[in-house]
Amino acid sequence: MSVPEAKVSSVAERWDRERVLALAPDAPSQRTAHSLASGRAWTATGATAEADAVWGECRGSAPAPYRAVVDLTGPAYRCSCPSRKFPCKHVLALLLLWSAGSVPDDATGPPDWAGSWLMTRAGKASRAPSGDQAEPKDPRAAARRAEQREARVASGLAELDRWLCDQARQGLAASQQAGYAHWDDIAARMVDAQAPGVAERLRALASVPHSGPGWDGRLLEEYALLHLLAVAYRRQADLPGPLRETVRSRIGFSLRQADVLASGQPVRDYWQVLARRDLEQDRIRVRRTWLRGRKTGRDALLLSFAAAGQALDDSLTVGADADADLVFYPGAAALRAAVLARHGGGTVLPDDGPPEGGTIAALLAGYAAALAADPWLDSWLAVVEVIPARAPVPAVCDADGGGSLPLHPGAGHCWPLFALSGGRPVTLAGEWTPRGLWPLTAWDETGRAVPL
């Protein structure tokens, strides 16, 4: 029996599995992609030798195979399946196969169906204008636009305040019967008024009337804080500078990160990356990464955004330290920051190790102080030394028996946290919110960080 000579082709830089899985829109997609990522389901797979495109045909339930193709430079995806998830399981499975080295390089290039799509993409890319579009070209036009926006926001917030007062006048009891449109309409008007931060808060309210006992209080809290925001904007001239910045950023006047980095005072520290939480808002995924400086003891929140199909920033690993310069956004309780520069890339820092967990009393005191500066602050970094408890509701107790705080009802059973603790104190990092503590990271007995 003659044996074909083994050919070892040059391996272009391949994405690792984690990078592929980071593209998945949700956990079920990751699982189905795994089960599809076997050579049995796939025929006619190939990749260009330059590792800029991968394609393949996958047998599915339909008689014709699904055809998936990925432009790795974008990345951009296309699949002939009817799935509305993006990227779909076929694309993810194809990328997993490719990442595992199971897709052969094809020197003859992609088949026609993949090639034509890749060509159109290449054409679009070369026509796209280059340069930083956000750079204002004409300062006078820019000033005029800014003025127009202030006027729109002012009239929009005045309208919002009238709407809020109407709600208070008619009573909130009717909200339980109201549909999503009740909030979506006013949210849409805030979008038109160029106050996206307010619109987002309003949209989130639609679920409050169905969030269980105490919904009425929670809805009143949110209405009251929106009213406070509208009043604060109206009187912004009287406010101290940092608080004015806070008000404006809560409304949705966003600063360009480049401007913040250029104008702010950098803070260099060994930043412990303590916790990370991914949320989805309006088809945009948001990653919140919480840091604490080892030298300065200062907390920082990094935000990164990704549209569907794009991967979130993965450059900071929970449990590791980053030697970096951060620049904080202006504001009354300045938490949000951006990375200006990282130093000594990749080296392990001298005092890498678990953070020091504080008491629950210290956590609440810190939050109260921050709240005094920014009354809209509703998530705050918690790093505590606690014992998790189950009854009557999932909670964490001070290690020395001082007291307890409830876990956030949305965080579920938190079984991994309980398993890790085994009834003993653990160091826990999470987000403290008015509804409870959302656990995010715990450190095991060897001092290793475990994302929960």
Partner 1 sequence: MSTWQDLVTASLIGTERAEVPAATVPGLPDRTEAVSDDPAVLLLDRAALLTVARRGGTLIRPTGPAELLPAAEPDQASAVSPAAGRRLGRMLGGEHPDLLAEWLTAAVARDRRVPAHLLPALLDRARRVSPSDPELRRLAAEAGGSRARWLARLNQDWAFVTAHTEADEDAWRRGGKSQRRAYLASLRARDPVAARELITESWAAAGPERVMFLSVLASQGLSLADEPLLEAALDERDAEVRGWAAHLLARLPGSALGRRMAERARGCVRIDAGVLSEHLVTSPPVQWDNAMRRDGVSPRGGGNLRQLDDRTHLLHEVLARTPLRTWTDEFGRTVEQILAVSSGAWAPVLFTGWSRAAMAQRDQEWMTALIDWALAGGQTGTLFGAETLRQLARRADPARCARETTATRAAETPPPVRDAISVLRFRYDMLKELEL
Task: Kindly identify the residues of this chain, within the stretch 296-335, that bind partner 1 according to CB under 8 A.
Answer: none
Region 261-280 residues binding partner 1, contact defined as CB under 8 A = none
Q: How far is the CB of 257 from partner 1 (least distance, A)?
A: 29
Chosen residue from 127, 137, 140, 169 binding partner 1 by CB under 8 A = 169
Residues 64 to 103 in contact with partner 1, rule: CB under 8 A? 100-102
- Identify the CA nearest to 196 among candidates 134, 132, 257, 152: 152
Interaction of residue 367 with partner 1, rule CB under 8 A: yes
**Residue 348 to residues 69, 73, 272, 319, 450: CA-CA distances in angstroms?**
39, 31, 12, 12, 18
Least distance to partner 1, CB of residue 132, Å:
39
Asked if 211 touches partner 1 (CB under 8 A), the answer is: no
User: Please, which of residues 99-158 interact with partner 1 by CB under 8 A?
Assistant: 100-102, 104-106
Q: Which two tokens stand for residue 12?
A: 């272009």
Binding range to partner 1, per CB under 8 A, among 120-128, 132-140, 223-231, 250-258: 223-231
- The answer to whether the beta carbons of residues 216 and 223 sit under 8 Å apart is no
DSSP code at position 407: B
Residues 410-439 that bind partner 1 (CB under 8 A): 415-420, 422-424, 434
Amino acid at 388: P
- 282 contacts partner 1 (rule: CB under 8 A): no
Q: Is 182 in the site for partner 1 (CB under 8 A)?
A: no
Nearer Cβ to partner 1, position 35 or 263? 35
Tokens for 171? Answer: 């009573």
> Binding to partner 1 by residue 198, rule CB under 8 A?
no
Is residue 59 near partner 1 by the rule CB under 8 A? Answer: no
- Exposed (0-12), middle (13-18) or buried (19+): which is 115, by Cβ within 10 Å? middle
Binding-residue pattern over the window 341 to 360 for partner 1, x denoting contact by CB under 8 A: -------------------x
Q: What is the DSSP string of 76-144?
A: EEEESS---SSS-HHHHHHHHHHHTT-S-B-TT---HHHHHHHHHHHHHHHHSPPS-TTS-S-HHHHHH
* CA–CA distances in Å: residue 377 to residues 221, 240, 367: 13, 17, 9
Both tokens of 405, joined, read 């705080």
- State which of residues 122, 188, 228, 318 lies at the interface with partner 1 (CB under 8 A): 228
Which parts of 15-54 interact with partner 1 (CB under 8 A)? Answer: 17, 27, 30-35, 38-40, 42-43, 46
